[in-house]
Amino acid sequence: MKNITLNNGVEIPILGFGTFQITEPEQAETAVREAIQAGYRHIDTAQSYMNEEAVGRGIATSGIPRDELFITTKIWVENASYQGVIESFERSLKRLGLTYIDLLLIHQPFGDIYGAWRAMEELQGQGKIRAIGISNFAVDRAVDLAEFNKITPQVNQIEINPFQQQTKNIAALKAEGIMPEAWAPFAEGKKDIFNDPILVEIGEKYKKSVAQVITRWLVEQDIIVLAKSVKRERMKENLDVFDFELTEADKNEIATLNEGESQFFSHADPEMIRWMASRRMDV
């Protein structure tokens, strides 16, 4: 497994196992345990996924020592304040059954972001969190947070996939010392991505799946990748991307797929902001 070194020296496995939408407790526990057994050492969850307890059980029953794993969770909007982070972080730790978190992210760029960040800086200073970062922040918001606080975010987890490549934003984040992390690298199957002719043709050349081609494309950009599957064979397949390299011609072909817009929703949409602000989950 390739590791990426963050701006504070912490190393993070470049391939992570995502748990979004795996909400049934037994399935989530099994998926996490099997992902770790398949070779994943980086597990990503969030307060809003409502599966931290199941993820924690999967970690506990995996048979892998805690210090060999990298665990991420995220602070939801209703907890995005100084006190909200302090209190909800302890609840997340308890649900996960852990004594520390490797990476804590502010999940959305809404609420009292500055207060939340100050709390996260303190928790990191206390050794309860190894790395802190953000998720779904536009570059200007990320730079604002970095420039007006003591600690620059170590990570910004954003949508990156062949249809939303974010090339300029990725370069800007890296220039600030913030490592991009890709959610929805396969665009959740939208636009029949797994049968896209360009990606299929590239995969056939290397005897790889479309998912492996996309993952390799991101790995070669030094972008952390989160992939999700509840099928053991897919978990293993998604890890098997270190035995081939894309050519410049391959990358140029993939570049033609870029539409330059989210495949899901806009964080600048007032209705979406109102929806997130109203989504209370008692987490």
Binding residues for substrate: 107
- How would you classify the pairing of strands 11-13 and 3-5? antiparallel
Q: E strands of the chain, at which residues?
A: 3-5, 11-13, 15-18, 42-44, 70-75, 101-106, 129-135, 155-159, 179-183, 224-227
Dihedral, 141, 184, 260, 170 alpha carbons, nearest 10: 50
Q: Which residues are annotated as a binding site?
A: 107
In contact, 112 and 82? CB cutoff 8 Å: yes
Q: Cα separations (Å) of 134 from 39, 83, 158, 171?
A: 26, 18, 9, 17
Which residues does the annotation mark as catalytic?
49
In contact, 143 and 176? CB cutoff 8 Å: yes
> What tokens were used for 186?
């396969």
The kind and range of the H/E element at 34 are: helix 25-38
Nearest C-alpha neighbor of 196 from the set 263, 114, 248: 263
Nearest-angstrom CA–CA distance, 277 and 219: 34
Q: Give the contacts of 96 (CB within 8 A, at least 6 positions apart).
A: 45, 52, 53, 55, 56, 59, 71, 73
